[in-house]
Amino acid sequence: MHITEGEGAGSTVETHATPLGADDTGRPRTAVIEAVIAASNRPGFGVARLAAPLLRPLARTAASRLWRDDLAYAERRWQLRSTGRFPG
């Protein structure tokens, strides 16, 4: 995905989901990989790059929380679809 407007315009986010097979109970397992390439002409971007080593652990924690939430949501949707209960 290429960010075209707003904060992060010009940046790229690439996400891949790779099926790994089924777990012991038959549920599908998937690896989700995300790469972000950020660019900005804003003057503060250089400062942010310098602060990156300090900010990285905070960003990693926030991203990890979002991924857990996203994966839990995807698992709930799969459960509904696989049992014919998905609305819509």
pLDDT of residue 40: 78
Q: What is the DSSP letter of 42?
A: S
pTM > 0.75: yes or no: no
Domain locations in the chain as residue ranges = 12-82
- Give the model confidence (pLDDT) of 41-86 as tens digits: 777 888 888 999 999 999 899 988 988 888 888 888 888 888 888 8
- Which residues does residue 15 pair with via DSSP β-bridges, in sequence order? 34
Q: What is the C-alpha separation between 40 and 56, in angstroms, rounded?
A: 18
The pair phi, psi for residue 50, each rounded to 5°, is: -65, -35
The pair phi, psi for residue 85, each rounded to 5°, is: -105, 5
